[in-house]
Amino acid sequence: MEYLVLARKFRPQTFEGVIGQEHVVKTLRNSIGQGRVAHAFLFSGPRGVGKTSVARILAKSLNCEKGPTATPCNICSNCLEITNGSSLDVREIDGASNRGIDEIRELRENVKFAPVASKYKIYIIDEVHMLTREAFNALLKTLEEPPAHVIFIFATTENHKVPATILSRCQCYDFRRVSLNEIATNLGEVASKEGIKISPSALLWIAEAGDGSIRDAQSIFDQVISYAGMDIKDEDVEESLGLADRKYLFRISEAVLQRDAGACLIIIEEAYLAGIDMKHFYQILVKHFRNLLLVKIAADSSSSFDIALEQIEKMKNQVQKISRETLQRFVEILISEEAGFSRSQEPRMKLEAIIVKMAYLEPIIPLGEIISTIENIEQKLSQGLPVTGKNNELQVSANNPAKETLKNNIESSAGIYASEEDNSSSAGNELNDLKSFCDNFKKFIKKENAILGAKINSAEIVNYENECLTLGFPKNYIFLEEIRTAAQKAILEQIAEKFFQKKVTIKIESLNMENGNANGGNGRKQLNGINEIKREAMNQPLLQKIMDELSDARVVEIKVQMGKVNS
């Protein structure tokens, strides 16, 4: 008896034996059980995932002597003839070699005749997308209204090449790629039935080489058996499949993550001297860093991404202290350099340059962590400042009736508000100093809207009367006009309503030096100096370059160190 390759020997003969296409199998079984079998089917999907096998099983289910049945017996003459490919009523046609209009015309003539020994005459046309436009047109009418005893089953790997007029006349089923674990499980069952000794890791390597195709994986397994015999070692699989380059992946990723450029160059040198193809190595390196990123993001759900379980734990340990942003940047670098690398005449040198670039990349700190750190520093600095100041702080004094009135108005409206920064502080203590209360209001705005909080940082509470809060800003303040817009005032009023627990109207004023917190000519001179510094800062070439490079960037606030302003 001639030898049958594994892909033919273990081809599924019933719907239960089909792997990874549960959605297709369930629909077909139900349609047979309900007697709702269509006259034309289109099976599309990658190569080697079971399209032709399911077409044959469907033919057996419809023509079985005990059928139509969702479970063909596989022992009657009709089932055996279909399995052997000798049935006169089930014709398998290769669309690539029978693609012309003459072949389709012949088919149209033959469909008129009744089946010889079965209930249905079934035509299975593989790679149907290879038919010419004229052949498709000739098939249209027959496909739309075939005789009751005729069923068409089309299979294709490129359904986008099938005309829409054909698709609309068929029930279309999309076959998916088979997962890594499903293929490995199938190979393990084959090995058990064949009496072959092989490790789970080696099965996973073969399954990965199959790239989602059961048939390809079984063919590769055949090749490994021919190379290593019935007792297969991991080294045999590595040598047979050319997997020697994979042992360098974790080493080079570890060196990159440790920012050890020297180790990276040594590893690439070893791989080059071992005869590794640099362009192929680059492809699997991109996939390896992509897997590291997926493991970092998905954590316990990593197995969903067709990554071997033994590798997942190793990857988790490797990326434990690395941020997601850093890994994402590595993947972006590898992808962006891919086109240039493929065209390079010196792939080794190009790879070295890319890897060194990655190794010297500064770790990217997540934005949330940066903001949190800044807020912590700001809080510590604010706690270290004196409660009262000299010229630039608003103080409550018995000698200042206007400010005392303002204090009373705010105190009566704000009730018992206490700062969230210090729950132990009472409202009475807070309100002894308008500066403290003003700071609390600003902090509240900052928590509600960080950007707006930064913009009103220079504000002072000028007056609060009849549910109208007046905020004062220095004249020529950089964000003054923006804060005066209706949209910004509406947001401020919403936040103020939460703060005061009642509806409050916001009024924005520009402070003259007599009304502000600076006095006399020195104050006016100082404010003018600050505004001049801010204008110069906005016109700095470096700032303009940053604004040009980062389209979403904008200036939120410009802070001036008071010690550097000439009086």
Helix (H, G, I), strand (E, B) or coil at 172: strand
Q: Are residues 281 and 340 in the same domain?
A: yes
Q: Does residue 437 form part of some domain? A: yes
H and E: helices and strands count for the chain: 27, 8
CATH code at position 186:
1.10.8.60
Q: Taken in order 446, 447, 451, 452, is the CA torsion positive or negative?
A: negative
pLDDT in tens, 219-269: 999 999 999 889 998 888 888 887 777 778 889 999 999 999 999 999 999
Among the residue ranges 22-36, 83-97, 148-162, 439-453, the one predicted with the least confidence is 439-453
For residue 37, pLDDT over 50 is answered with yes
Residues 51 and 138 in one domain: yes
DSSP string spanning 256-312?
A: HHTT-HHHHHHHHHHHHHTT--HHHHHHHHHHHHHHHHHHHHHGGGGGGG---HHHH
Which of 359, 378, 403 is the last residue before a domain boundary?
359
Give the end of a domain, one of 174, 208, 226.
Answer: 174
Identify which of 42-51, 90-99, 463-472, 530-539 has the greatest average pLDDT: 42-51
Which range is least confidently modeled, 109-113, 268-272, 452-456, 544-548?
Answer: 544-548
Structure confidence at residue 167 as a pLDDT band (50, 70, 90) = very high
Please say whether the dihedral angle defined by the alpha carbons of residues 433, 436, 442 and 443, taken in this order, is positive or negative.
negative
Position 429 pLDDT exceeds 60: no
What's the mean pLDDT when you consider all of the chain?
80
pLDDT of res. 308 = 73
Q: Reduce the secondary structure of 475-492 to three states and give it as a string.
A: CCCCCHHHHCCHHHHHHH
Q: Long-range pairs for 554-559 at CB < 8 Å and ≥24 separation?
A: 555/478, 556/451, 556/454, 556/455, 557/454, 557/455, 557/457, 557/479, 558/478, 558/533, 558/534
Both 184 and 287 in one domain: the answer is: no
Instruction: For residue 449, give the 3-state DSSP assignment.
Output: coil
Higher pLDDT, 56 or 239: 56
Instruction: List the CATH number of the domain containing 305.
Output: 1.20.272.10
* DSSP single-letter state for residue 43: E
Domain presence at residue 64: yes
Question: Do 467 and 485 belong together in one domain?
Answer: yes
Eight-class DSSP state of 16: G
Q: Could you tell me if 473 and 509 are in contact, meaning their C-beta atoms sit under 8 angstroms apart?
A: yes
* Domain interval for residue 92: 6-174
Q: Which pLDDT does position 434 carry in this prediction?
A: 64
- What is the token pair recorded at 23? 């959605």
pLDDT for residue 520? 39
Instruction: Output the pLDDT for position 398.
Output: 37
Weakest mean pLDDT among 211-215, 408-412, 530-534, 536-540: 408-412
pLDDT of res. 535: 59
What would the pLDDT profile of 137-160 be if each residue is shown by its tens digit? 888 888 888 899 999 999 999 989
Q: What is the mean pLDDT of residues 335-342?
A: 90
Q: Looking at the structure, tell me whether residues 207 and 228 fall in a common domain.
A: yes
Q: Give yes or no: residues 401 and 481 share one domain.
A: yes
User: Residue 321 corresponds to which tokens in the numbers above?
Assistant: 């202290």
How far is the C-alpha of 256 from the C-alpha of 262, rounded, in Å?
A: 10
Q: Per-residue pLDDT averaged across 526-535, rounded? A: 54
Region 540-553: mean pLDDT is 58
**Confidence band, pLDDT 50/70/90 cuts, at residue 350:** very high
Question: Is residue 399 included in any domain, yes or no?
Answer: yes
More reliable by pLDDT, 127 or 379: 127
Residue 455 binned pLDDT confidence (cut-offs 50, 70, 90): confident
Residue 377 lies in a domain: no
What the block records as the tokens of 62 is 């419809």
Tell me, yes or no, whether 142 and 200 share the same domain.
no
For residue 378, tell me if it sits in a domain. no
pLDDT at 523: 43
Q: Is residue 23 located within the same domain as residue 156?
A: yes
Half-sphere exposure of 502 (CA within 13 A, CB side): 10
Is the pLDDT score of 426 beyond 50? no
Q: Which of 145, 174, 203 is the last residue of a domain?
A: 174
- Residue 369 in any domain: the answer is no
Asked if pLDDT for residue 405 goes beyond 60, the answer is no
Asked if 277 and 308 sit in the same domain, the reply is yes
pLDDT at 391: 37
Per the domain annotation, does 234 fall within a domain?
A: yes
Structure confidence at residue 216 (pLDDT): 92
Q: How large is the average pLDDT for residues 267-292?
A: 89
Average of pLDDT values for 338-366?
A: 88
Co-location of 99 and 137 in the same domain: yes
Rounded CA gap, 513 and 506, in Å?
21
Residue 560 has pLDDT above 70, yes or no: no
Question: Half-sphere exposure of 121 toward its Cβ, with a 13 Å CA cutoff?
Answer: 15
Residue 155, beta-bridge partner list: 43, 126
Question: Is 445 within a domain?
Answer: yes
- Average pLDDT (69-91) is 91
Place 471 in a pLDDT band, splitting at 50, 70 and 90.
confident
The residue among 561 and 240 whose pLDDT is bigger is 240
Give the full edge-to-edge strand order of the sheet including 171-174. Answer: 90-94, 121-126, 150-156, 40-44, 171-174
156 and 285 inside one domain: no
Contacts of 219 (CB under 8 A, 6+ apart): 5, 6, 7
Is a pLDDT exceeding 50 seen at residue 427? no
Of the candidate ranges 61-75, 349-363, 422-436, the one whose mean pLDDT is the lowest: 422-436
Report pLDDT for 385.
Answer: 41
Give the model's confidence band at 392: pLDDT under 50 very low, under 70 low, under 90 confident, else very high. very low
Higher pLDDT, 328 or 413: 328
Q: In this structure, are 58 and 115 located in the same domain?
A: yes
Of 476, 478, 524, 485, nearest in space to 508 by CA: 485
181-190, 285-294, 424-433, 491-500, range with the lowest pLDDT:
424-433
Structurally, the chain folds into a number of domains equal to: 5
